[in-house]
Structure 1
Protein backbone atom coordinates (compact mmCIF):
# COMPACT_ATOMS: atom_id res chain seq x y z
CA UNK A 1 0.00 0.00 0.00
CA UNK A 2 1.30 3.47 -0.85
CA UNK A 3 2.31 5.27 2.32
CA UNK A 4 1.94 8.90 3.39
CA UNK A 5 3.78 11.50 1.35
CA UNK A 6 5.83 14.15 3.09
CA UNK A 7 3.47 17.04 3.66
CA UNK A 8 0.41 14.85 3.20
CA UNK A 9 -0.36 14.50 6.89
CA UNK A 10 -3.99 13.65 6.34
CA UNK A 11 -3.16 10.22 4.95
CA UNK A 12 -4.64 7.56 7.22
CA UNK A 13 -1.82 5.01 7.43
CA UNK A 14 1.78 5.69 8.38
CA UNK A 15 4.51 3.27 7.29
CA UNK A 16 6.80 4.58 10.03
CA UNK A 17 4.26 3.66 12.72
CA UNK A 18 5.19 0.70 14.91
CA UNK A 19 1.86 -0.85 13.86
CA UNK A 20 2.89 -0.98 10.18
CA UNK A 21 4.37 -4.50 10.30
CA UNK A 22 1.09 -5.95 11.55
CA UNK A 23 -0.82 -3.86 9.01
CA UNK A 24 1.24 -5.38 6.20
CA UNK A 25 0.82 -8.90 7.59
CA UNK A 26 -2.97 -8.55 7.79
CA UNK A 27 -3.20 -7.07 4.30
CA UNK A 28 -1.13 -9.90 2.85
CA UNK A 29 -3.17 -12.59 4.61
CA UNK A 30 -6.50 -11.12 3.54
CA UNK A 31 -5.74 -9.91 0.01
CA UNK A 32 -2.75 -11.77 -1.44
CA UNK A 33 -4.86 -14.79 -2.53
CA UNK A 34 -7.00 -12.47 -4.69
CA UNK A 35 -4.09 -10.39 -5.97
CA UNK A 36 -1.79 -13.27 -6.87
CA UNK A 37 -4.51 -15.35 -8.54
CA UNK A 38 -5.26 -12.43 -10.83
CA UNK A 39 -1.58 -11.72 -11.49
CA UNK A 40 -1.03 -15.38 -12.34
CA UNK A 41 -3.74 -15.09 -14.98
CA UNK A 42 -1.71 -12.42 -16.79
CA UNK A 43 0.86 -15.07 -17.70
CA UNK A 44 3.66 -13.29 -15.82
CA UNK A 45 6.80 -15.33 -16.29
CA UNK A 46 10.57 -15.34 -16.42
CA UNK A 47 11.98 -12.34 -18.22
CA UNK A 48 9.16 -9.89 -17.50
CA UNK A 49 9.95 -6.48 -16.04
CA UNK A 50 7.38 -5.48 -13.43
CA UNK A 51 6.58 -2.42 -11.33
CA UNK A 52 4.97 -2.83 -7.90
CA UNK A 53 3.74 0.58 -6.73
CA UNK A 54 3.25 1.25 -3.02
CA UNK A 55 4.72 -2.15 -2.18
CA UNK A 56 4.25 -1.86 1.60
CA UNK A 57 5.54 -5.06 3.22
CA UNK A 58 6.60 -6.51 -0.13
CA UNK A 59 4.63 -9.77 -0.23
CA UNK A 60 3.34 -9.18 -3.78
CA UNK A 61 6.70 -7.89 -4.99
CA UNK A 62 8.39 -11.06 -3.71
CA UNK A 63 5.73 -13.24 -5.36
CA UNK A 64 6.37 -11.51 -8.68
CA UNK A 65 10.13 -11.70 -8.31
CA UNK A 66 9.93 -15.45 -7.81
CA UNK A 67 8.34 -15.69 -11.25
CA UNK A 68 10.34 -13.23 -13.33
CA UNK A 69 13.90 -13.69 -12.05
CA UNK A 70 16.63 -14.07 -13.03
CA UNK A 71 16.03 -12.78 -16.56
CA UNK A 72 13.41 -10.26 -15.42
CA UNK A 73 13.13 -7.79 -12.56
CA UNK A 74 10.55 -6.33 -10.19
CA UNK A 75 10.95 -2.70 -9.16
CA UNK A 76 9.16 -2.27 -5.81
CA UNK A 77 8.46 1.34 -4.85
CA UNK A 78 7.16 3.02 -1.74
CA UNK A 79 7.36 6.47 -0.23
CA UNK A 80 8.90 4.75 2.82
CA UNK A 81 10.48 1.46 1.70
CA UNK A 82 11.92 0.55 5.11
CA UNK A 83 9.88 -2.68 5.17
CA UNK A 84 11.20 -3.84 1.79
CA UNK A 85 14.37 -5.84 1.16
CA UNK A 86 16.12 -6.08 -2.18
CA UNK A 87 17.20 -9.46 -3.46
CA UNK A 88 18.03 -11.00 -6.86
CA UNK A 89 15.23 -10.04 -9.22
CA UNK A 90 13.79 -7.47 -6.78
CA UNK A 91 14.96 -3.85 -6.73
CA UNK A 92 13.66 -1.45 -4.07
CA UNK A 93 13.13 2.23 -4.82
CA UNK A 94 12.12 5.11 -2.54
CA UNK A 95 9.58 6.83 -4.75
CA UNK A 96 6.57 9.12 -4.52
CA UNK A 97 4.27 8.04 -7.34
CA UNK A 98 2.57 11.46 -7.36
CA UNK A 99 5.65 13.66 -7.54
CA UNK A 100 8.45 11.49 -8.91
CA UNK A 101 8.79 10.43 -12.56
CA UNK A 102 8.58 6.88 -13.85
CA UNK A 103 10.33 5.57 -16.96
CA UNK A 104 7.97 5.37 -19.91
CA UNK A 105 7.28 2.19 -21.90
CA UNK A 106 9.50 0.25 -19.48
CA UNK A 107 7.34 -2.46 -17.88
CA UNK A 108 5.47 -5.55 -19.03
CA UNK A 109 3.29 -5.44 -15.89
CA UNK A 110 2.41 -2.69 -13.43
CA UNK A 111 0.52 -3.48 -10.24
CA UNK A 112 -0.83 -1.27 -7.46
CA UNK A 113 -3.03 -2.33 -4.54
CA UNK A 114 -4.96 0.09 -2.37
CA UNK A 115 -2.90 3.00 -3.66
CA UNK A 116 -4.97 5.15 -5.98
CA UNK A 117 -8.05 5.22 -3.74
CA UNK A 118 -5.97 7.13 -1.16
CA UNK A 119 -4.57 9.71 -3.62
CA UNK A 120 -6.55 12.84 -4.56
CA UNK A 121 -4.34 12.88 -7.70
CA UNK A 122 -5.45 9.35 -8.63
CA UNK A 123 -6.31 10.08 -12.28
CA UNK A 124 -2.96 11.78 -12.94
CA UNK A 125 -1.19 8.85 -11.28
CA UNK A 126 -3.19 6.40 -13.38
CA UNK A 127 -2.05 8.20 -16.54
CA UNK A 128 1.56 7.95 -15.32
CA UNK A 129 1.21 4.21 -14.73
CA UNK A 130 -0.24 3.72 -18.22
CA UNK A 131 2.71 5.57 -19.75
CA UNK A 132 5.09 3.30 -17.81
CA UNK A 133 3.69 0.25 -19.62
CA UNK A 134 5.25 -1.08 -22.77
CA UNK A 135 2.82 -1.41 -25.68
CA UNK A 136 0.94 -4.61 -24.94
CA UNK A 137 1.80 -4.37 -21.23
CA UNK A 138 -0.73 -4.98 -18.46
CA UNK A 139 -1.90 -2.86 -15.54
CA UNK A 140 -3.65 -4.41 -12.53
CA UNK A 141 -5.30 -2.27 -9.87
CA UNK A 142 -6.75 -3.88 -6.75
CA UNK A 143 -9.01 -1.43 -4.94
CA UNK A 144 -11.77 -1.30 -2.33
CA UNK A 145 -15.30 0.05 -2.46
CA UNK A 146 -16.01 0.60 1.23
CA UNK A 147 -19.58 1.76 0.64
CA UNK A 148 -20.57 -1.91 0.89
CA UNK A 149 -19.73 -4.24 3.77
CA UNK A 150 -22.79 -5.06 5.88
CA UNK A 151 -22.92 -6.92 9.14
CA UNK A 152 -24.94 -10.09 8.53
CA UNK A 153 -25.13 -11.49 12.06
CA UNK A 154 -24.06 -10.14 15.44
CA UNK A 155 -24.57 -11.17 19.07
CA UNK A 156 -27.19 -8.44 19.51
CA UNK A 157 -28.78 -5.51 17.72
CA UNK A 158 -26.61 -3.15 19.77
CA UNK A 159 -23.50 -5.03 18.70
CA UNK A 160 -24.50 -4.74 15.04
CA UNK A 161 -25.13 -1.00 15.43
CA UNK A 162 -21.74 -0.50 17.09
CA UNK A 163 -19.98 -2.32 14.23
CA UNK A 164 -21.81 -0.12 11.71
CA UNK A 165 -20.78 3.02 13.63
CA UNK A 166 -17.19 1.79 13.58
CA UNK A 167 -17.28 1.34 9.78
CA UNK A 168 -18.92 4.74 9.31
CA UNK A 169 -16.24 6.44 11.41
CA UNK A 170 -13.53 4.75 9.36
CA UNK A 171 -15.17 5.88 6.11
CA UNK A 172 -15.27 9.47 7.38
CA UNK A 173 -11.60 9.47 8.29
CA UNK A 174 -10.70 8.15 4.83
CA UNK A 175 -12.79 10.87 3.17
CA UNK A 176 -11.27 13.56 5.38
CA UNK A 177 -7.81 12.42 4.24
CA UNK A 178 -8.73 12.80 0.55
CA UNK A 179 -9.44 9.13 -0.17
CA UNK A 180 -12.28 8.00 -2.43
CA UNK A 181 -13.85 5.03 -0.69
CA UNK A 182 -15.88 4.15 -3.78
CA UNK A 183 -12.91 4.25 -6.17
CA UNK A 184 -12.89 0.49 -6.69
CA UNK A 185 -16.12 0.52 -8.66
CA UNK A 186 -14.92 3.43 -10.81
CA UNK A 187 -11.45 2.07 -11.57
CA UNK A 188 -12.44 0.15 -14.72
CA UNK A 189 -14.02 3.19 -16.36
CA UNK A 190 -11.04 5.33 -15.38
CA UNK A 191 -8.65 2.81 -16.92
CA UNK A 192 -10.60 2.83 -20.17
CA UNK A 193 -10.60 6.65 -20.18
CA UNK A 194 -6.82 6.53 -19.68
CA UNK A 195 -6.48 4.62 -22.95
CA UNK A 196 -6.26 0.99 -21.87
CA UNK A 197 -8.00 -1.81 -23.73
CA UNK A 198 -9.27 -5.28 -22.80
CA UNK A 199 -10.50 -3.96 -19.45
CA UNK A 200 -11.43 -6.82 -17.11
CA UNK A 201 -12.91 -5.83 -13.72
CA UNK A 202 -13.57 -8.68 -11.30
CA UNK A 203 -15.43 -7.99 -8.02
CA UNK A 204 -14.91 -10.07 -4.91
CA UNK A 205 -16.81 -10.42 -1.65
CA UNK A 206 -15.22 -12.39 1.18
CA UNK A 207 -17.16 -13.78 4.17
CA UNK A 208 -15.85 -12.34 7.41
CA UNK A 209 -16.08 -14.04 10.78
CA UNK A 210 -14.05 -14.14 13.97
CA UNK A 211 -10.47 -15.13 13.21
CA UNK A 212 -10.64 -14.51 9.46
CA UNK A 213 -7.84 -12.38 7.95
CA UNK A 214 -10.17 -9.52 7.02
CA UNK A 215 -11.57 -9.29 10.55
CA UNK A 216 -8.05 -9.45 11.97
CA UNK A 217 -7.25 -6.44 9.77
CA UNK A 218 -10.24 -4.51 11.11
CA UNK A 219 -9.33 -5.34 14.70
CA UNK A 220 -5.80 -4.15 14.00
CA UNK A 221 -7.19 -0.84 12.73
CA UNK A 222 -8.79 -0.19 16.12
CA UNK A 223 -5.22 -0.03 17.47
CA UNK A 224 -3.36 1.43 14.47
CA UNK A 225 -5.93 4.20 13.96
CA UNK A 226 -6.95 4.61 17.60
CA UNK A 227 -6.29 8.36 17.76
CA UNK A 228 -8.24 8.97 14.56
CA UNK A 229 -11.19 6.92 15.83
CA UNK A 230 -11.21 8.95 19.05
CA UNK A 231 -11.18 12.16 16.99
CA UNK A 232 -14.07 10.74 14.95
CA UNK A 233 -16.18 10.38 18.09
CA UNK A 234 -15.63 6.81 19.29
CA UNK A 235 -14.33 6.12 22.79
CA UNK A 236 -11.71 3.67 23.94
CA UNK A 237 -14.48 1.67 25.60
CA UNK A 238 -16.39 1.49 22.31
CA UNK A 239 -13.27 0.40 20.43
CA UNK A 240 -12.76 -2.36 23.00
CA UNK A 241 -16.41 -3.35 22.64
CA UNK A 242 -16.27 -3.49 18.82
CA UNK A 243 -13.19 -5.70 19.07
CA UNK A 244 -15.20 -8.10 21.21
CA UNK A 245 -18.07 -8.00 18.68
CA UNK A 246 -15.70 -9.00 15.88
CA UNK A 247 -14.20 -11.78 18.01
CA UNK A 248 -17.60 -13.23 18.92
CA UNK A 249 -18.30 -16.67 17.42
CA UNK A 250 -21.72 -15.45 16.22
CA UNK A 251 -20.29 -12.52 14.26
CA UNK A 252 -20.71 -12.64 10.48
CA UNK A 253 -20.20 -9.87 7.94
CA UNK A 254 -19.40 -9.34 4.31
CA UNK A 255 -16.15 -7.75 3.31
CA UNK A 256 -16.30 -4.51 1.45
CA UNK A 257 -16.31 -4.95 -2.31
CA UNK A 258 -12.84 -5.70 -3.62
CA UNK A 259 -12.25 -4.94 -7.31
CA UNK A 260 -9.31 -6.40 -9.20
CA UNK A 261 -9.16 -4.62 -12.55
CA UNK A 262 -6.82 -5.41 -15.42
CA UNK A 263 -6.25 -3.55 -18.65
CA UNK A 264 -3.77 -3.67 -21.52
CA UNK A 265 -1.94 -0.83 -23.21
CA UNK A 266 -2.69 -1.10 -26.92
CA UNK A 267 0.19 -2.08 -29.15
Structure 2
Protein backbone atom coordinates (compact mmCIF):
# COMPACT_ATOMS: atom_id res chain seq x y z
CA UNK A 1 0.00 0.00 0.00
CA UNK A 2 1.44 3.37 -1.02
CA UNK A 3 1.38 6.21 1.55
CA UNK A 4 -0.99 9.00 0.68
CA UNK A 5 0.19 12.55 0.19
CA UNK A 6 -0.52 14.80 3.17
CA UNK A 7 -3.79 16.71 3.01
CA UNK A 8 -5.37 19.45 5.07
CA UNK A 9 -9.09 18.96 4.41
CA UNK A 10 -11.84 16.88 5.91
CA UNK A 11 -11.66 13.47 4.25
CA UNK A 12 -15.42 13.18 3.60
CA UNK A 13 -16.47 14.93 0.40
CA UNK A 14 -19.02 17.72 0.82
CA UNK A 15 -21.71 16.08 -1.27
CA UNK A 16 -25.18 16.62 0.26
CA UNK A 17 -26.46 13.14 -0.60
CA UNK A 18 -23.33 11.39 0.67
CA UNK A 19 -23.14 13.53 3.80
CA UNK A 20 -26.82 12.94 4.49
CA UNK A 21 -26.33 9.17 4.36
CA UNK A 22 -23.22 9.47 6.52
CA UNK A 23 -25.07 11.46 9.17
CA UNK A 24 -28.02 9.06 9.23
CA UNK A 25 -25.67 6.13 9.79
CA UNK A 26 -23.78 7.98 12.52
CA UNK A 27 -26.97 8.95 14.34
CA UNK A 28 -28.39 5.43 14.16
CA UNK A 29 -25.13 3.90 15.37
CA UNK A 30 -24.07 6.30 18.10
CA UNK A 31 -27.10 8.26 19.36
CA UNK A 32 -28.00 5.24 21.56
CA UNK A 33 -24.65 5.82 23.32
CA UNK A 34 -24.38 9.61 23.26
CA UNK A 35 -27.92 10.53 24.30
CA UNK A 36 -28.30 8.29 27.39
CA UNK A 37 -24.98 9.64 28.68
CA UNK A 38 -26.26 13.19 28.33
CA UNK A 39 -29.55 12.28 29.98
CA UNK A 40 -27.69 10.69 32.90
CA UNK A 41 -25.61 13.86 33.23
CA UNK A 42 -28.81 15.73 34.05
CA UNK A 43 -29.29 17.94 30.99
CA UNK A 44 -32.45 19.85 31.79
CA UNK A 45 -34.36 23.10 31.46
CA UNK A 46 -32.25 26.24 31.36
CA UNK A 47 -28.99 24.67 30.17
CA UNK A 48 -26.94 26.51 27.56
CA UNK A 49 -25.47 23.91 25.18
CA UNK A 50 -23.06 23.77 22.27
CA UNK A 51 -23.01 20.85 19.84
CA UNK A 52 -19.67 21.34 18.08
CA UNK A 53 -19.35 19.51 14.78
CA UNK A 54 -23.04 18.75 14.89
CA UNK A 55 -23.21 16.69 11.68
CA UNK A 56 -26.82 15.88 10.92
CA UNK A 57 -28.04 17.61 14.08
CA UNK A 58 -29.68 14.69 15.89
CA UNK A 59 -27.88 15.46 19.17
CA UNK A 60 -28.66 19.17 18.92
CA UNK A 61 -32.36 18.50 18.32
CA UNK A 62 -32.47 16.14 21.31
CA UNK A 63 -30.81 18.78 23.49
CA UNK A 64 -33.21 21.48 22.29
CA UNK A 65 -36.13 19.35 23.44
CA UNK A 66 -34.52 18.97 26.88
CA UNK A 67 -33.48 22.53 27.72
CA UNK A 68 -37.01 23.94 27.70
CA UNK A 69 -38.07 27.54 27.15
CA UNK A 70 -35.27 28.97 29.31
CA UNK A 71 -32.37 27.07 27.72
CA UNK A 72 -30.62 27.29 24.37
CA UNK A 73 -28.65 25.05 21.99
CA UNK A 74 -26.11 26.21 19.43
CA UNK A 75 -25.27 23.64 16.72
CA UNK A 76 -22.17 24.40 14.66
CA UNK A 77 -20.35 22.72 11.79
CA UNK A 78 -18.46 23.63 8.62
CA UNK A 79 -21.62 22.53 6.82
CA UNK A 80 -24.34 22.86 9.47
CA UNK A 81 -27.43 20.66 9.42
CA UNK A 82 -30.46 21.97 7.58
CA UNK A 83 -33.07 23.41 9.95
CA UNK A 84 -36.10 21.14 10.42
CA UNK A 85 -39.34 22.12 8.63
CA UNK A 86 -40.58 23.58 11.93
CA UNK A 87 -37.44 25.14 13.48
CA UNK A 88 -37.09 24.67 17.22
CA UNK A 89 -37.17 28.05 19.00
CA UNK A 90 -34.37 26.97 21.34
CA UNK A 91 -32.00 25.79 18.58
CA UNK A 92 -29.63 27.97 16.57
CA UNK A 93 -27.72 26.44 13.65
CA UNK A 94 -24.56 28.16 12.42
CA UNK A 95 -21.72 27.57 9.97
CA UNK A 96 -18.53 27.67 12.04
CA UNK A 97 -14.91 26.53 11.71
CA UNK A 98 -14.04 25.34 15.20
CA UNK A 99 -10.33 25.68 14.41
CA UNK A 100 -10.41 29.40 13.64
CA UNK A 101 -13.77 31.06 14.29
CA UNK A 102 -14.32 32.62 17.74
CA UNK A 103 -16.27 30.99 20.55
CA UNK A 104 -17.64 32.88 23.55
CA UNK A 105 -15.73 32.09 26.74
CA UNK A 106 -17.36 30.63 29.86
CA UNK A 107 -20.69 30.58 28.00
CA UNK A 108 -21.95 26.98 28.01
CA UNK A 109 -23.17 24.57 30.68
CA UNK A 110 -22.61 21.67 28.27
CA UNK A 111 -20.50 21.12 25.18
CA UNK A 112 -20.77 17.97 23.07
CA UNK A 113 -18.10 17.08 20.50
CA UNK A 114 -18.77 13.74 18.83
CA UNK A 115 -16.32 12.35 16.26
CA UNK A 116 -14.86 15.82 15.74
CA UNK A 117 -11.44 16.10 17.36
CA UNK A 118 -9.92 12.96 15.83
CA UNK A 119 -10.32 14.54 12.37
CA UNK A 120 -8.45 17.75 13.25
CA UNK A 121 -4.66 18.10 13.22
CA UNK A 122 -5.19 20.96 15.71
CA UNK A 123 -7.26 18.77 18.02
CA UNK A 124 -5.50 19.76 21.27
CA UNK A 125 -5.75 23.48 20.51
CA UNK A 126 -9.44 23.04 19.67
CA UNK A 127 -9.95 21.08 22.89
CA UNK A 128 -8.46 23.97 24.88
CA UNK A 129 -10.87 26.37 23.14
CA UNK A 130 -13.82 24.14 24.01
CA UNK A 131 -12.74 24.02 27.66
CA UNK A 132 -12.48 27.83 27.78
CA UNK A 133 -16.00 28.04 26.32
CA UNK A 134 -17.37 26.05 29.26
CA UNK A 135 -18.84 27.94 32.18
CA UNK A 136 -17.25 27.04 35.54
CA UNK A 137 -18.83 23.76 36.56
CA UNK A 138 -19.81 23.06 32.94
CA UNK A 139 -19.59 19.62 31.36
CA UNK A 140 -17.75 18.54 28.20
CA UNK A 141 -18.64 15.24 26.55
CA UNK A 142 -16.23 14.00 23.88
CA UNK A 143 -17.14 10.82 21.96
CA UNK A 144 -14.26 9.54 19.82
CA UNK A 145 -13.28 6.31 18.08
CA UNK A 146 -10.21 4.14 18.34
CA UNK A 147 -10.12 2.06 15.17
CA UNK A 148 -7.07 0.00 16.17
CA UNK A 149 -9.47 -2.70 17.38
CA UNK A 150 -12.14 -3.84 14.90
CA UNK A 151 -11.35 -7.44 13.94
CA UNK A 152 -13.44 -9.56 11.59
CA UNK A 153 -15.16 -12.30 13.60
CA UNK A 154 -16.98 -14.38 11.00
CA UNK A 155 -16.15 -14.35 7.28
CA UNK A 156 -16.67 -16.98 4.57
CA UNK A 157 -12.93 -17.74 4.46
CA UNK A 158 -9.47 -16.40 5.20
CA UNK A 159 -9.25 -14.56 1.87
CA UNK A 160 -12.37 -12.57 2.76
CA UNK A 161 -10.97 -11.74 6.19
CA UNK A 162 -7.76 -10.43 4.59
CA UNK A 163 -9.76 -8.31 2.15
CA UNK A 164 -11.77 -6.75 5.00
CA UNK A 165 -8.56 -6.08 6.96
CA UNK A 166 -7.04 -4.41 3.88
CA UNK A 167 -10.11 -2.17 3.61
CA UNK A 168 -9.77 -1.14 7.27
CA UNK A 169 -6.09 -0.31 6.80
CA UNK A 170 -6.84 1.76 3.68
CA UNK A 171 -9.60 3.65 5.47
CA UNK A 172 -7.23 4.47 8.36
CA UNK A 173 -4.63 5.68 5.84
CA UNK A 174 -7.24 7.99 4.32
CA UNK A 175 -8.03 9.51 7.72
CA UNK A 176 -4.35 10.01 8.53
CA UNK A 177 -3.67 11.59 5.14
CA UNK A 178 -6.31 14.22 5.95
CA UNK A 179 -4.61 15.02 9.26
CA UNK A 180 -6.78 12.78 11.42
CA UNK A 181 -5.83 10.22 14.03
CA UNK A 182 -8.17 7.21 13.79
CA UNK A 183 -6.83 5.87 17.11
CA UNK A 184 -7.27 9.11 19.06
CA UNK A 185 -10.23 7.89 21.10
CA UNK A 186 -7.90 6.07 23.49
CA UNK A 187 -6.07 9.35 24.19
CA UNK A 188 -9.19 11.43 24.84
CA UNK A 189 -9.43 10.84 28.62
CA UNK A 190 -5.82 11.93 29.23
CA UNK A 191 -6.26 14.88 26.87
CA UNK A 192 -9.30 16.13 28.77
CA UNK A 193 -7.41 15.82 32.05
CA UNK A 194 -4.40 17.70 30.59
CA UNK A 195 -6.81 20.43 29.45
CA UNK A 196 -7.78 21.03 33.07
CA UNK A 197 -11.04 19.11 33.40
CA UNK A 198 -11.93 17.12 36.51
CA UNK A 199 -14.36 14.31 37.39
CA UNK A 200 -13.23 12.41 34.30
CA UNK A 201 -15.57 9.55 33.38
CA UNK A 202 -14.46 7.57 30.29
CA UNK A 203 -16.74 4.79 29.09
CA UNK A 204 -15.70 2.45 26.22
CA UNK A 205 -18.27 0.89 23.90
CA UNK A 206 -17.87 -1.90 21.33
CA UNK A 207 -20.70 -2.82 18.97
CA UNK A 208 -21.22 -5.71 16.56
CA UNK A 209 -21.01 -5.05 12.84
CA UNK A 210 -23.55 -7.53 11.54
CA UNK A 211 -26.28 -7.62 8.90
CA UNK A 212 -28.63 -4.66 9.23
CA UNK A 213 -26.62 -2.88 11.95
CA UNK A 214 -25.98 0.84 11.59
CA UNK A 215 -22.28 0.43 12.38
CA UNK A 216 -21.93 -1.99 9.47
CA UNK A 217 -23.96 0.23 7.13
CA UNK A 218 -21.54 3.04 8.01
CA UNK A 219 -18.61 0.94 6.75
CA UNK A 220 -20.45 0.11 3.52
CA UNK A 221 -21.14 3.81 3.09
CA UNK A 222 -17.42 4.57 3.51
CA UNK A 223 -16.65 2.42 0.47
CA UNK A 224 -18.72 4.89 -1.58
CA UNK A 225 -18.05 8.19 0.22
CA UNK A 226 -14.29 7.61 0.37
CA UNK A 227 -14.01 5.72 -2.92
CA UNK A 228 -11.36 7.89 -4.58
CA UNK A 229 -9.23 8.14 -1.44
CA UNK A 230 -9.47 4.38 -0.80
CA UNK A 231 -8.25 3.68 -4.34
CA UNK A 232 -5.37 6.12 -3.79
CA UNK A 233 -4.59 4.19 -0.59
CA UNK A 234 -4.18 0.92 -2.50
CA UNK A 235 -7.65 -0.58 -2.93
CA UNK A 236 -8.90 -1.49 -6.41
CA UNK A 237 -12.38 -1.00 -7.77
CA UNK A 238 -12.84 -4.77 -7.78
CA UNK A 239 -11.73 -5.02 -4.15
CA UNK A 240 -14.20 -2.31 -3.13
CA UNK A 241 -16.97 -4.20 -4.90
CA UNK A 242 -15.97 -7.45 -3.21
CA UNK A 243 -15.68 -5.93 0.27
CA UNK A 244 -19.16 -4.42 -0.12
CA UNK A 245 -20.50 -7.84 -1.06
CA UNK A 246 -18.66 -9.38 1.89
CA UNK A 247 -20.20 -6.92 4.35
CA UNK A 248 -23.63 -7.67 2.87
CA UNK A 249 -23.16 -11.42 3.37
CA UNK A 250 -25.66 -12.64 6.00
CA UNK A 251 -22.98 -14.59 7.89
CA UNK A 252 -20.49 -11.71 8.10
CA UNK A 253 -19.84 -10.05 11.44
CA UNK A 254 -17.00 -8.03 12.95
CA UNK A 255 -16.29 -6.09 16.10
CA UNK A 256 -16.68 -2.36 15.76
CA UNK A 257 -13.95 0.05 16.67
CA UNK A 258 -14.06 1.27 20.28
CA UNK A 259 -16.09 4.40 20.94
CA UNK A 260 -14.82 6.20 24.02
CA UNK A 261 -17.46 8.47 25.50
CA UNK A 262 -15.61 10.75 27.91
CA UNK A 263 -17.09 13.36 30.23
CA UNK A 264 -15.17 15.96 32.20
CA UNK A 265 -16.12 19.05 34.16
CA UNK A 266 -14.50 22.50 34.27
CA UNK A 267 -13.66 23.29 37.90
CA UNK A 268 -15.33 26.20 39.60
CA UNK A 269 -13.16 29.03 40.90
CA UNK A 270 -13.50 27.86 44.50
CA UNK A 271 -12.39 24.31 43.74
CA UNK A 272 -8.83 23.15 44.18
CA UNK A 273 -7.08 22.33 40.87
**Same structural fold, with TM-score higher than 0.5 when normalized by the shorter chain:** yes
Q: Summarize the Cα distance change of 1:52–1:82 in structure 2 as closer, same or farther, 3 Å threshold.
A: closer
Is 1:54 the counterpart of 2:58? The answer is no
Aligned to 1:32: 31
TM-score by length of structure 2 reads 0.93
Cα distance, 1:262 vs structure 2: 0.1
Cα distance, 1:16 vs structure 2: 3.7
Is 1:133 the counterpart of 2:96? The answer is no
Q: In 2, are the aligned partners of 1:56 and 1:84 still within 8 Å (CA)?
A: no
Q: In 2, are the aligned partners of 1:56 and 1:83 still within 8 Å (CA)?
A: no
Aligned to 1:4: none
Q: Which runs of 5+ in 2 are unaligned?
A: 1-6, 269-273
Aligned to 2:63: 64
Q: In 1, are the aligned partners of 2:68 and 2:90 still within 8 Å (CA)?
A: yes
SS in 1 for 2:102: coil
SS in 2 for 1:244: helix
Aligned to 1:114: 115
Q: How many residues align?
A: 260
Aligned to 1:151: 152
Q: Distance in 1 between matches of 2:15 and 2:98?
A: 18
Q: Which runs of 5+ in 1 are unaligned?
A: 1-7
Q: Summarize the Cα distance change of 1:58–1:216 in structure 2 as closer, same or farther, 3 Å threshold.
A: same
Q: Distance in 2 between matches of 1:179 and 1:84?
A: 28
Q: In 2, are the aligned partners of 1:107 and 1:137 still within 8 Å (CA)?
A: yes
Cα distance, 1:82 vs structure 2: 4.9
Q: Distance in 2 between matches of 1:232 and 1:47?
A: 48
Q: 1:235-254 deviations in whole A, cap 9, x for unaligned?
A: 11111110111111111110
Q: Distance in 2 between matches of 1:16 and 1:132?
A: 31
Q: In 2, are the aligned partners of 1:188 and 1:261 still within 8 Å (CA)?
A: yes
Cα distance, 1:27 vs structure 2: 0.5
TM-score by length of structure 1 reads 0.95
Q: Distance in 2 between matches of 1:257 and 1:225?
A: 21
Q: 1:79-135 deviations in whole A, cap 9, x for unaligned?
A: 111534452110011111000110011100000101000001011100100011111
SS in 2 for 1:30: helix
- Aligned counterparts, 1:231-250, within 5 A: 231-250=232-251
Aligned to 1:23: 22
Aligned to 2:74: 75
Aligned to 2:192: 191
Cα distance, 1:233 vs structure 2: 1.5
Q: Distance in 2 between matches of 1:131 and 1:199?
A: 17
Q: In 2, are the aligned partners of 1:102 and 1:132 still within 8 Å (CA)?
A: yes
SS in 2 for 1:108: strand
Cα distance, 1:45 vs structure 2: 0.4
Q: 1:13-68 deviations in whole A, cap 9, x for unaligned?
A: 13444311100100000111001011111100011000000111100100111100
After the TM superposition, which of the residue ranges 136-145 and 69-78 deviates more from structure 2?
Answer: 69-78
Q: Distance in 2 between matches of 1:82 and 1:136?
A: 29
Aligned to 2:4: none
After the TM superposition, which of the residue ranges 120-129 and 84-93 deviates more from structure 2?
Answer: 84-93
Q: Distance in 1 between matches of 2:81 and 2:257?
A: 29
